[in-house]
Amino acid sequence: MLLIRPIRAEDYPELYQIAVESGHGFTSLPVNEELLQRKINRSENSFAKTIQSPGDEGYLFVLQDAETGRVLGTSAIEAAVGLDDAFYHYHLGKVVHSSRALGVYKAVDILTLCNDYTGVSELCTLFVREDSRKNNAGKLLSKIRFLFMAEFRQRFAERVIAEMRGVSDDAGNSPFWQWLQDSFFSVDFPTADYLTGIGQKVFIAELMPKYPIYVSLLSKEAQAVIGKVHDKTRPALAMLQSEGFSNTGYVDIFDAGPTVEAKVEHIRSVRNSRRVQVQIGEVQGGQPWMISNTQLQDFRATWLYLQLREDDTVVTLPAAAAELLQVQNGDWVRLARI
């Protein structure tokens, strides 16, 4: 069975290996021992805090094979971005150049540097190791965050975003960043991406063009990838779109990948999730459900086939699943259809 739980200090070796495997463009897991250790410590502290409103918390989960103990992937939620470090995006908008006297009217696309998402929650750090991308692993690891947000609603903002990895090649070269590098920087994309991942963002404010950029002035290659996602990110984007996320014109400042957003209350798995009580017994067949306990520090989640009707207030769990979730008869769980 698959298990999702909060990360622990002893997971560091596998987290480091996952950071290596995630490759270029995966900013939230840079290959840096000190930073990864800090991420684990920060997550443990976040799960332990008693709070009433979102702040500088980061919740990092791991996906684990319950039988072998191997960590198969990661996902995370940032409670409120941009409170300590500026959180940059480009917004794709338009300006109109017109002259009534000459009969000229032309709408032009522009990119404007902004911090519009300051204070919103963010879904991030979703990665499943290549040999484990099966058995609903990716869906579970992504969607289970919505059960956690529904259960601990006060810990998150009203809106949540997800930055999608933009187009880059196997060597980490981004057509969008290449134009910025040629025009404004002398730093290659992997280096800029890594510096951002380890929190050294001051160069953005110092070197990034402050005025709107006319898209028509970019190279054809750079223009072609604005708002486009990396091939490996397409499934993640499709899943979020199915949950109600949409793009409103914001793109990443490095690779121009789209940022999608939704109100938490409108996310399908949040809206359709519900609490029921546990009854331990035999289960024959059914439909696939993701299910979590309602604990914070000892949060546990998995997916399994259950027989459950829309108006049921009790769910029957096999003994093995109940043990995995650390629940007993009468305990509460939260669940939603995968």
Q: What are 310's two structure tokens? A: 């829309």
Q: Kindly report the backbone phi and psi dihedral angles of residue 120, in degrees, each rounded to the nearest multiple of 5, phi listed first.
A: -85, 160
Contact 9, 40 (CB under 8 A): yes
Of the chain, the end-to-end C-alpha distance in Å amounts to 15
Please tell me what DSSP assigns to residue 290: E
At how many degrees (to 10) do helices 189-197 and 175-183 cross? 100
Contact 180, 90 (CB under 8 A): no
The neighbour count for residue 247, using CB atoms within 10 Å, is: 16
Return the active site residues. Answer: 230
Q: Kindly report the backbone phi and psi dihedral angles of residue 15, in degrees, each rounded to the nearest multiple of 5, phi listed first.
A: -65, -40
Amino acid in the structure at residue 15: L
d(CA 90, CA 87): 11
d(CA 33, CA 30): 9
- List of E strands, 115-245: 121-128, 159-163, 213-214
The neighbour count for residue 78, using CB atoms within 10 Å, is: 26
